[in-house]
Amino acid sequence: VTCSFSSSPPIYCTSLSKGMKLFSLTLIQIIDGPEVWVETTDLSSTLVIAEVTTEHRGRYTVVARDRRSSAQHTLTLSVIETPQPPASCPVISSVSTTSLALSWSGPCYDGGTAILGYVVEIKNPGVAESADWRKLTDECTSTSYVVSALQAHQEYCFRVRAYNEVGISQPGPVSPVVRMEQKDFDKPQKEDPQNYASVTIDSAHKVSDDYILQEKLGVGKFGQVFKLIHKETGQVCAGKFYKGRRAKERDAARKEIELMNYLHHPKLVQCLAAYDQKPEMVMVMEFIAGGELFERIVDDNFEHTERASVHYVQQILEGVAFMHQQNIVHLDLKPENIVCVDKTGTFVKIIDFGLASKIDNTTPLKVMHGTPEFVAPEVINYEPVCLATDMWSIGVICYILLSGESPFQGDDDAETLASVTAAQWEFSEESFEEITQEAKDFISSLLIKQTMRRMTCKQALAHPWMAAFDSGELEAKNLSKEKMKKFLARQKWKVTPLYTVFGDPEAEHALQTLEHKMQGPPQFTQSLKDQTVTSGSSARLSCHLTGYPDPEVVWLRGKEPLVESPSVQIEYEEDGCCTLVISKVGPEDGDLYTCRASNNHGEVFCSAKLTVQE
């Protein structure tokens, strides 16, 4: 990478720096080495990377200075590779004697460039000559596929690979084996009635006591989601495993779980159980197999009409209306959080209440989080949020649903957020040419900067656009899916917290410098001490840790890792204090106990002997 410049020699200093992935203005000086070096002359500076890997992607800045002034230029280096495998195994539905439908989740990382399609593979495990995998198609462009011409009463399993312009991924997880027999999928669709119950957090048991842990379904900033099967009933559920070592993380998990006790409605995903199994907390939720709504819309097997769009928006409004009746605001309504109940129907639910909050009319609530294209102006301006904040997001979702375009999409996040703040948008003439005036009026009544002027959920449900759907007046004319596909391709791996866009550049730079300085291996500032306790009493072995990133801690008795139980508890405080508590010790508890702490910079141990006196 070469940058040329003109100057009056001598140039005092020239350096190339690379920006951290999420903080575009943070600079780290590049030091010459065997893999990366800088070649500088009086007229140019060249960054040489001998062998590029994905670790080299990011923003690079060249800074030049002479006696009179300085100049800099920044560019982005993208490094693409083959994608990761699809994140989940294919889910099988609509099984008949000779056909079935498959659907799956895309890869967690697309390799830095758009996924072009999927390869679907099949195996017949019951037939010896068909024991190898064979390709069904390599031209599937969505995350679902209908398989036909299968043999009745035969067993099959499936797997999927993703590919981009670089190449093809490894295969994803294998589906369960399915036997080709007619299932009863032809009854008229109706929503299953739900039984609601308030959930209390169970600290006495672990999720593994009641559920069988299956494959990973997804990863988020909170932690991970796994598929679970209830040991007694066989019910399939989803387990949200929160990182919970810090008090702040545990409080956030507890808040979401407690908040969901107020959200008993068929359009809102339900919490079924919760466990506090230190250091993790787990929320068990109903399993929703249908995938994201927008992914469903671009599937070639489903029609996309204005009439269908009204049906989806109506359901979103019904769920949000119930939340607003409880004075709860979602604060993160976006396409990824609207999911289909199953793979064939048109019922949807709202998910992810991690940012939701109860509105207290006596204490204004201000937040600085959300997704740039869907967040309301009052959030960006750090003004109090209200129930109308969700209504703005519904307006954006509706605009995209009908046009495949975002009303505020800018060339970068700063431009997008500036458009949101100014509430500057218009209907694209081409995209809204065949959309009814009622739909445009519906959107216009939501995308208003003044919160008091936005429609409420009750008003939105009574809007003429909704009435037109109920009366069957809307035409079932198919809408183009091409722009929606492009929108999804742009959005797929784009995650930009608001503070990275609107944070003060100097402050961000200082924060990242501190982050760099904080890096270090684990160290014990206070080690374990030998203890002698009486049989039947409690023992507490405490030590104090430092290190960044936060060390992972494992306790050992002798050489065996300790597992928490009603009589053995592990406490990890935010200040680094780590304590092993053994209640009602007996002679068998006398042993050497070790605390092992590790992070990516190193590993340390400290030990103490516990003596139990009769």
Q: Which domain holds residue 586?
A: 520-612
* Spatial contact of 92 and 102, defined as CB atoms under 8 Å apart: yes
Same domain membership, residue 329 and residue 309: yes
> Would you call the peptide bond into 587 cis, given omega within 30 degrees of 0 as the criterion?
no
B/e letters for 396-410, b = 16+ CB within 10 Å, e = fewer, are: bbbbbbbbbbbbbbe
Q: What is the pLDDT of residue 280?
A: 84
3-state secondary structure of 509: helix
Question: Is the residue at 66 inside a domain?
Answer: yes
Nearest partner of 383 among 335, 455, 452, judged by Cα? 452
Same domain membership, residue 414 and residue 311: yes
Dihedral of CA atoms 563, 567, 568, 569 in degrees, nearest 10, equals: 120
* Spatial contact of 154 and 99, defined as CB atoms under 8 Å apart: no
Q: Compute the distance between CA of residue 214 and CA of residue 227 in angstroms, rounded to an integer.
A: 5
Which tens digit of pLDDT belongs to each residue from 256-304? 999 999 999 999 999 999 999 877 899 999 998 888 888 888 876 777 8
- Tell me the range of 18-22, 125-129, 196-200 where mean pLDDT is highest: 196-200
Same domain membership, residue 249 and residue 296: no
Q: What is the pLDDT of residue 505?
A: 46
229: phi then psi, degrees, rounded to nearest 5: -125, 125
Sheet containing 539-548: give its strands across. 520-526, 539-548, 577-582, 568-572
Q: What is the pLDDT of residue 325?
A: 96
Same domain membership, residue 244 and residue 112: no
Other Cβ atoms closer than 10 A to 192: 7
Spell out the long-range contacts of 423-426 with Cβ–Cβ below 8 A and sequence spacing 24 or more. Answer: 423/377, 423/447, 423/448, 423/449, 425/399
Into how many domains does the chain fold?
5
Which tens digit of pLDDT belongs to each residue from 539-564? 999 999 888 777 888 999 998 988 88
Strand (E) or helix (H) holding 339: strand 338-340
Same domain membership, residue 150 and residue 75: no
Residue ending a domain, choose from 456, 481, 514: 514
The answer to the question of whether 492 is labelled as a binding residue is no
Question: Is the residue at 542 inside a domain?
Answer: yes
pLDDT of residue 245 exceeding 70: no
Both tokens of residue 273? 């159980």
Nearest partner of 494 among 397, 374, 376, 394, judged by Cα? 374
In order, the DSSP letters of 26-91 are -EEE----SSEEEEE-SSEEEEEESS--GGG-EEEEEEEE-SS-EEEEEEEE----PPPPBSSPPE
Which tens digit of pLDDT belongs to each residue from 481-490? 888 887 777 6
Same domain membership, residue 153 and residue 131: yes
Same domain membership, residue 576 and residue 532: yes
3-state secondary structure of 518: helix
247: CATH: 3.30.200.20
Spell out the long-range contacts of 359-362 with Cβ–Cβ below 8 A and sequence spacing 24 or more. Answer: 359/327, 359/328, 359/329, 359/385, 359/386, 359/387
pLDDT of residue 450 exceeding 90: yes
Which tens digit of pLDDT belongs to each residue from 589-611? 999 999 999 988 899 999 999 99
Question: Is the residue at 190 inside a domain?
Answer: no
Same domain membership, residue 279 and residue 299: no
Q: Compute the distance between CA of residue 36 and CA of residue 152 in angstroms, rounded to an integer.
A: 60
Residue ending a domain, choose from 132, 162, 180: 180
Question: Is the residue at 579 inside a domain?
Answer: yes
Residue ending a domain, choose from 180, 199, 219: 180
Which tens digit of pLDDT belongs to each residue from 31-62? 677 888 888 777 788 888 888 887 777 777 77
**Res. 164 pLDDT band, cuts 50 70 90:** very high
**Res. 183 pLDDT band, cuts 50 70 90:** low
Q: Compute the distance between CA of residue 176 and CA of residue 157 in angstroms, rounded to an integer.
A: 6
Q: What is the pLDDT of residue 168?
A: 96
3-state secondary structure of 607: strand
Q: What is the pLDDT of residue 369?
A: 80
26: CATH: 2.60.40
Same domain membership, residue 578 and residue 431: no
Question: Is the residue at 193 inside a domain?
Answer: no
Residues serving a catalytic function are 332
Query: In which residue are the tokens 């009854």 written?
Result: 187
Question: Is the residue at 91 inside a domain?
Answer: yes
Q: Compute the distance between CA of residue 609 and CA of residue 607 in angstroms, rounded to an integer.
A: 7
In order, the DSSP letters of 106-160 are PBS--TTS---EEEEEEE-TTSGGG-S-EEEEEEE-SSEEEE-SPPTT-EEEEEE
